Amino acid sequence: INKENKKPVVVCCGDSITHGHIGYDWVGSLRKKDKTKLFVNAGINADLTWNLNQRVIDIIKHNPDYVTILIGTNDAIGSQPVKQIQQYYIQTKGLPKKPSIEWFEEQIDELLSTLTKKTNARIALITLPFIGEQKDSEIIQVVKNHNRIIRNVSNKHGTKLLDFFKEFDSIIIDNNSIPYTTSELRRLRGLRAVILHYVFNWTWKDIGKKYNLKLLCDHIHLNEDGGQILEKMVEEFLKE
Average pLDDT value for residue range 44-72: 98
CA dihedral (113, 114, 116, 122) positive or negative: negative
* Interval 62-88: pLDDT, tens: 999 999 999 999 999 999 988 888 999
Reported as a pLDDT band with limits 50, 70 and 90, residue 5 is: confident
Residue type, 228: Q
pLDDT digits (tens, 9 = 90+) for 160-217: 999 999 999 999 998 899 999 877 778 899 999 999 999 999 999 999 999 999 999 9
Per-residue pLDDT of 80-109, as tens digits, reads: 988 888 999 999 999 999 999 999 999 999
Q: Evaluate if residue 47 carries a pLDDT over 80.
A: yes
Given a contact cutoff of 8 angstroms between Cβ atoms, the answer to whether 139 and 100 are in contact is no
26 pLDDT higher than 90: yes
The answer for residues whose C-beta is within 8 angstroms of residue 15's C-beta and 6 or more apart is: 43, 44, 45, 46, 47, 48, 70, 71, 73, 74
Please name which of 133, 5, 135 lies closest in space to residue 65, comparing C-alpha atoms. 5
- Report, in this order, helix, strand and coil percent for the chain, each rounded to 5: 50, 10, 40
Q: Identify which of 185, 218, 192 has the alpha carbon closest to the alpha carbon of residue 85.
A: 185
Q: How much is the mean pLDDT over the chain?
A: 96
* Residue among 187, 182, 179, 189 nearest 217 (CA): 189
Q: Which helix (H) or strand (E) holds 68?
A: strand 66-70
Looking at residues 9-34, what average pLDDT do you find? 98
Side chain identity at residue 116, one-letter code: T
Please, are residues 141 and 177 in contact by the beta-carbon 8 Å criterion? no
The pLDDT value recorded for residue 28 is 98
For 213-234, how does the pLDDT look when each residue is reduced to its tens digit (9 = 90+)? Answer: 999 999 999 999 999 999 999 9
| Distance (Å, whole) CA 90 – CA 97 | 7
> Measuring CA to CA, which residue among 149, 171, 170, 143 is closest to residue 161?
149
